[in-house]
Amino acid sequence: MPLYNRFVLPEAQLDSLTVVLVSPRNPLNIGAAARAMANFGLRRLSVVAPFEPTWREARSAIGAPALLVNAMESETLAEAVANCTLVVGTGTLTRRKPEQPVVPLPDLAPRVSRELASGGRVAMVFGSEKHGLTREDLSYCHLLVEIPTDPLQPSMNLGQAVAVCLYELIRSAVSAPETQPATSAISITSAATSGRLDLLAGVIEETMQAAGYSPRAMQSANRHDLRLLLRRLSLSTQDNRRILGLFRRILWRLNRGHGGDRKSG
């Protein structure tokens, strides 16, 4: 077997790593990203709110036309990553202050490897060519990874960014020493998916409104901060369920105590 074939992910993990492109503008870049995925054996591509409706016909997807045909399309990032337990945003810190942990690209592989080995699902999220991932997009991400580039030219072509990240991710994952996962109760507890976290965030937000927590003008900011907070907590599925039940009970009591029709301020 050729040596380079060692860099392809195990078959059992191929469907657990998704590349997500948010609002891509140029179909050729989508095709280039698909080609890079095919180079490393990946096959799950998700495209969020593409600018051009004909993106599945991109001629740049050399050797990967089936990947484009079978790609998922969604209107929102929340929908695209709903079943993922680890969402990694990509970008540069040149013009933004990160609100979640920042991981150097070479250090990302062990984190992703652990998630995949434990049965989790990982999404690598890339922003549009025009402005990258927005602050709103990043609020759905557990981590932010930065590609090391020259400060004078920090941005990178979308297809190239996907290729660089996937190469480093798979290369580092394979070259790292293998470790057996611990068998403690904590290690075998599955992480809550992004969709379950969003469900919890929605109930908490309803509870905050019912309690008159803050003015209506602050609700958007509260929603953003709540998404980030829940992802920083690294909740398990069981803990997410317990907290969800708790806030549903509190919300029920608040609505019952105020005639069930209290309006937020």
The answer to whether residue 180 is domain-embedded is no
pLDDT tops 80 at residue 127: yes
pLDDT of 241 > 60? The answer is yes
Buried (b) or exposed (e) across 130-146, using 16+ Cβ within 10 A?
eebbeeebbbbbbbbbb
CATH number for the domain harbouring residue 7: 3.40.1280.10
- Could you tell me if 130 and 227 lie in one domain? no
pLDDT grade for 242, boundaries at 50, 70 and 90:
very high
Residues 163, 36 contacting (CB under 8 angstroms): yes
Last residue of a domain, one of 175, 202, 235: 175
Q: Are residues 20 and 135 in the same domain?
A: yes
pLDDT at 177 over 50: no
Please name the residue that has the structure tokens 């992802």. 231
Do residue 235 and residue 164 come from a single domain?
no
The 3-state DSSP class for residue 136 equals: helix
Question: What is the rounded CA–CA span in Å between residue 194 and residue 202?
Answer: 12
pTM for the model: 0.86
Residue 264, pLDDT > 50, answer no
Mean pLDDT of 14-20: 93
* CA gap 190, 238 in Å, rounded: 8
Say whether pLDDT at 80 is over 90: yes
Residue 227 lies in a domain: yes
Query: Per the domain annotation, does 187 fall within a domain?
Result: no
Residues 6+ apart with CB under 8 A from 151: 94
Same domain for 144 and 55, yes or no, is: yes
**Proportion of the chain above pLDDT 90, given as a percent:** 57
Quick one: 155 and 41 in the same domain? yes
* 184 is a domain residue: no
198 and 70 share a domain? no
Confidence of residue 173 (pLDDT cuts 50, 70, 90): low
Kindly give the pairing relationship between strand 44-48 and strand 17-22. Answer: parallel
Task: Kindly indicate the confidence band of residue 253, based on its pLDDT and cuts at 50, 70 and 90.
Answer: very high
Q: What is residue 61's predicted lDDT score, i.e. its pLDDT?
A: 84
Q: Are residues 64 and 137 in the same domain?
A: yes
Predicted local confidence at residue 189, as pLDDT: 57
Are 108 and 156 part of one and the same domain? Answer: yes
pLDDT, position 182: 42
Q: Average pLDDT for residues 58-77, to the nearest whole number? A: 90
- Residue 121 shares a structural domain with residue 222: no
Could you give the 3-state DSSP secondary structure of residue 134? coil
Sheet containing 17-22, strands listed edge to edge, beginning at the edge strand earlier in sequence: 72-74, 44-48, 17-22, 122-126, 86-91, 143-146, 102-104
Euclidean distance between the first and final Cα of the chain, in Å?
Answer: 66
Domain range for 240 is 194-257
Residues 168 and 199 in one domain: no
Q: How many domains does the chain have?
A: 2
pLDDT at 44 over 70: yes
Q: Is residue 262 part of a domain?
A: no
Pair (223, 157) in one structural domain: no
H helices within the chain, ranges in order? 27-39, 65-69, 77-80, 108-117, 135-138, 158-175, 194-210, 219-232, 237-257
Task: Tell whether 148 and 107 lie within a shared domain.
Answer: yes
> Using 50, 70 and 90 to split pLDDT, how confident is the model at 1?
very low
The residue with greater pLDDT, 88 or 65, is 88
CA distance 179 to 109: 13
